[in-house]
A and B are shown apart, each in its own frame.
Chain A
Amino acid sequence: MLRYFLKRLAAMVPLVLLVSLICFALMQATPGGPGSMLSDNPMITPADAQQARDTFGVDKPVVVQFALWLERVVLHGDFGHSHVTGEPVLGMIKQRLPATLELMGAAFLLAFLFGISGGIVAALKRYTRLDSVVMLVTLVGISIPVFWLGLMSMMAFTVKWRLLPSTGMFSLGLPFSLADHLRHLLMPALVLSLLFIASWSRYMRASLSDVLAMNYVSVARAKGVSGTRVVFRHAVRNAAIPVLTVIALNLPALFTGSIITETIFAWPGMGRLFYDGLLRQDYTRLMGIIFIASFLIAFLNLIADTIYGILDPRIRLAR
């Protein structure tokens, strides 16, 4: 198992290297190239601009620049400074990451709870009215674009019924309270999680229906094991294996989904930071976020592969 894990880990290195190369190529493709913001600014003298170019090394050949950039990123974790605010990019990301992780975590919990239980209910009540209802809801869930769902729920819960706040993490001007924070978290987390609730319950339903039709389940029933025990002790545990790998593979999508959700609900996370960077053309910040995002996604894929390898020995032996 360790060997398999190390092999997958080693495969991550060229991946991250290539992604950073793409990032760098993107940075070179920015209009005027990196540093043009300086020379376009009338408040900065040409001498100062030249000095800044020397410090950032943008006059060197592209290959050398890439090597230098890579050295800074890999050895020192230094993504440079924001073109707009002058803050170190890594600091900005560190400051925003917890909010994103909180939103993702909450959405993940909701999706896991409702997705898995919805799938189990649908599979047990297969071809009944309840099953049809669950399947219809999941169809809506996988088809509704997250930004429209966000707008519609804002319209319903904030504008019309005045139940939930629509922006930010806290009510301004009030002392911090957990209840207030959770009220702010609820709507974005639900909106972000609906796609995954729907998708995971469909997987769970399909997987559990397959398992319930297997001989060992019939054997368990035949020898008199109680209904709930058969389902939860024997069937669900086996049915969960493929679903767990799907969940692991979906984690990156959850990360991407948070960018739109954060933008709509003004949730101060990495997605919002990215969107803000897009509006202000802050390329170093964007590069930093894309690099970290690719790294996270590669890491999550590694975890997914590992879970897969642990659960299914055929996978790790085949490679």
Chain B
Amino acid sequence: MSHPLRQNFRSQPTGAARGDRVGFGAVLRRSPLAYGAFVVMSLIVLGAVFAPLMSPYDKDKIDLTSQYLAPSLSHPFGTDDLGRDIFVRVMHGGRITLAVGFLAMTLALVIGVGAGGVAGYYGGWVDTVIMRTVDLMLAVPVFFVILFLSSILSPRVSIVALCAMIGCTQWMEVARLVRAVVITTKEHEFVDAARTLGLPDRRILVRHLLPHTTAPVLVAITLGLAQAIIIESGISFLGFGVQPPTPSWGAMLQDAQSYLSDCPWIAVFPGLMIFLTVACCNILSDFLGEATHPTHAPRR
């Protein structure tokens, strides 16, 4: 199953030529959209990291005197059905959602790079077995299976279990990319040279081949982060992921469903955060794809 997010979207070239070393910040500033996305993403991450320091209210404390308050100065995002401040819960929810996203993506990255690297380097039956597994995993309706597993574990789905389930089902794209790069790169002479020097396979693979996969993998993991966040939110939204009272953006949206007509702000803000985070990931991955691949810049 290939997800529509995995695509190579092209827009204006950023103009970083291969060879001349330009700082990341300098390249970033040339693309206003990517620069904006970077700033917004940093703010979201910082808000999540420092949430406990910046919370004027307790995230879980039920306050029946301040239920259903519309956004105001004292409650910028309003309060929910139990009188909890939504701004504080959104920041704390970011901790859970982003942590699941980053951890799941790291796991997917490790599995994907390992499997793809080994398959590409050794070829033969190892390659066949691994790529068949990739095909198999792509044929499994992943979202159904994760939901099923979470419902078995529910109501005690740990964050680690969520990360493991998402990570184990999102590594295939990375594996394919890494394998493709390793297969083309291993024909180069410097690999022969390394082998002639007597370097062991493992060292050739890790030190000489895998660094070449950095650019495409970087693009893939930004998309993977977006994907992991969407899956976690989706599962929590359906009620089988992060359980109340723990806030996560998806779980907050689930609670909000009952109050759509009277208190729209309960549904608006958590979803807006998911949307912003995913949009930033998409913009940044487009940007990274172009910045690391100037040859892919469009013909005019």
A-to-B contact residues, CB < 8 Å: 11, 15, 18-19, 22, 26, 29-31, 127, 135, 139-140, 142-148, 151-152, 154-155, 159, 195-196, 198-200, 202-203, 206, 209-210, 213, 246, 249-250, 252-253, 255-256, 259-260, 263-264, 274-275, 278, 281, 286, 289-290, 293-294, 297-298, 301
The minimal Cβ–Cβ distance linking A190 to chain B, given in whole angstroms, is 16
| B residues 255-300 in Cβ contact with A at 8 Å | 256-257, 260-261, 264, 267-268, 271-272, 274-275, 278-279, 281-283, 298-299
Chain B interface size, as a band, is 35 or more
Q: Which residue of B lies closest to A141 (CB)?
A: B4
A-B CB proximity, top 8 nearest: A199-B4, A148-B271, A143-B279, A293-B141, A252-B1, A278-B151, A143-B278, A213-B299
Determine whether B136 belongs to the interface, using a CB cutoff of 8 Å to chain A.
Answer: yes
A199 and B5 contact, Cβ closer than 8 Å, known pairs A143-B275, A255-B141, A293-B141: yes
Determine whether B27 belongs to the interface, using a CB cutoff of 8 Å to chain A.
Answer: no
The minimal Cβ–Cβ distance linking B223 to chain A, given in whole angstroms, is 10
B281 / chain A contacts, CB cutoff of 8 Å: 143
Measured CA separation A210–B144 after assembly (Å)? 37
A29 and B152 contact, Cβ closer than 8 Å, known pairs A148-B271, A199-B7: yes
A213 / chain B contacts, CB cutoff of 8 Å: 299
Determine whether B140 belongs to the interface, using a CB cutoff of 8 Å to chain A.
Answer: yes
A252 touches B253 (CB 8 A): no
The minimal Cβ–Cβ distance linking A314 to chain B, given in whole angstroms, is 16
Determine whether B195 belongs to the interface, using a CB cutoff of 8 Å to chain A.
Answer: no
A145 and B278 contact, Cβ closer than 8 Å, known pairs A19-B140, A29-B152: yes
A286 and B226 contact, Cβ closer than 8 Å, known pairs A142-B282, A151-B271, A199-B4: no
Determine whether B234 belongs to the interface, using a CB cutoff of 8 Å to chain A.
Answer: yes
Q: List 24 A-B contacts (CB under 8 A).
A: A15-B139, A26-B149, A26-B152, A30-B152, A139-B282, A142-B4, A144-B275, A147-B233, A147-B237, A147-B253, A147-B271, A148-B267, A151-B271, A155-B260, A155-B267, A202-B7, A209-B298, A210-B298, A246-B7, A253-B1, A286-B148, A286-B151, A289-B144, A290-B148
| B residues 126-164 in Cβ contact with A at 8 Å | 135-136, 138-145, 147-149, 151-152
A256 and B7 contact, Cβ closer than 8 Å, known pairs A15-B139, A151-B260, A301-B138: no
Chain B 6-28 near chain A by CB (<8 Å), digits 1 or 0:
01111110000000000000000
A206 touches B4 (CB 8 A): no
The minimal Cβ–Cβ distance linking B231 to chain A, given in whole angstroms, is 10
The minimal Cβ–Cβ distance linking A260 to chain B, given in whole angstroms, is 6
A151 touches B275 (CB 8 A): no
A294 touches B275 (CB 8 A): no
B141 touches A152 (CB 8 A): no
